[in-house]
């Protein structure tokens, strides 16, 4: 069996999105729970990949779906394109999540005559790990650096942005920023016990930026 690569993952995600958009599924009829729909699509996509590729399947311990590729899979409705992900540290909001994302955005319809549900995939997007930071936070930090800002300016900005960290950690983060400035992120990451990721900007910009690849679009 061939090894799974990011290029192959994206190619298979495209063909999977086309096929799934036409598929009528009995078990999805009447289902409105986003988590159940996400689990269905994640399992089905992994089974699709396992027909032709060998790869390590993620576990709750690894925290992401494709640990060897350092890629996590997300499934979200076009009505409210968002999902949650584990919180590791406040730095994720600035430097990115630490892994790439493949995001399937769907619109669900039910057919009463056949008692089936269909997930029309509207967008499938690959987001490089360097682009997974919070848009406004990373943009503000890059502007501070452009204006010759120092550690104190960065800490003040993080306090203003309610970054979930104490001042000692903010100081450490500020020092890391000076040594290694972040890339511009494009997610919206809301503070919570888990990060809440919102994808509206990603959907708008897919295919227009090198870090955000439009794998499939049908809108």
| CA count, 13 A, side-chain hemisphere, 131 | 20
> pTM of the full predicted structure?
0.94
Report how far residue 90's alpha carbon sits from residue 165's, in angstroms, rounded to the nearest whole number: 6
DSSP β-ladder status, 82-85 and 195-198:
antiparallel
Report how far residue 29's alpha carbon sits from residue 27's, in angstroms, rounded to the nearest whole number: 6
Q: What is the CATH number of domain 2-80+99-129+204-217?
A: 3.40.210.20
pLDDT score of 62: 64
pLDDT tens column, 51-108: 999 998 886 556 899 999 999 999 999 999 999 999 999 999 999 999 999 999 999 9
Residue ranges of domains in the chain: 2-80+99-129+204-217, 136-179
pLDDT score of 43: 95
């Amino acid at each position: 069996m061939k090894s799974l690569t990011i290029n192959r993952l994206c190619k298979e995600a495209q063909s999977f999105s086309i096929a799934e958009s036409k598929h009528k599924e009995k078990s999805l009829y009447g289902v409105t729970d986003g988590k159940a729909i996400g689990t269905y699509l994640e399992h089905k996509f992994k089974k699709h990949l396992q027909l032709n590729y060998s790869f390590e399947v993620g576990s709750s311990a690894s925290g992401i779906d494709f640990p060897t590729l350092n890629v996590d899979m997300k499934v979200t409705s076009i009505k409210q394109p968002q999902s949650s992900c584990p919180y590791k540290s406040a730095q994720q909001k600035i430097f990115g999540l630490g892994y790439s994302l493949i995001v399937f955005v769907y619109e669900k319809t039910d057919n009463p005559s056949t008692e089936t549900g269909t997930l029309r995939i509207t967008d499938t997007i690959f987001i490089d790990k360097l682009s997974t930071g919070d848009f406004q936070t990373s943009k503000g930090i890059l502007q501070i650096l452009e204006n010759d800002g120092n550690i104190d300016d960065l800490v003040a900005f993080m306090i203003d942005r309610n970054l979930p960290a104490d001042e000692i950690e903010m100081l450490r983060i500020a020092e890391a920023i000076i040594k290694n400035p972040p890339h511009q992120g494009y997610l919206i990451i809301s503070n919570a016990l888990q990060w809440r990721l919102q994808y509206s900007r990603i959907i708008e910009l897919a295919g227009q930026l090198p870090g955000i690849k439009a794998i499939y679009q049908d809108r």
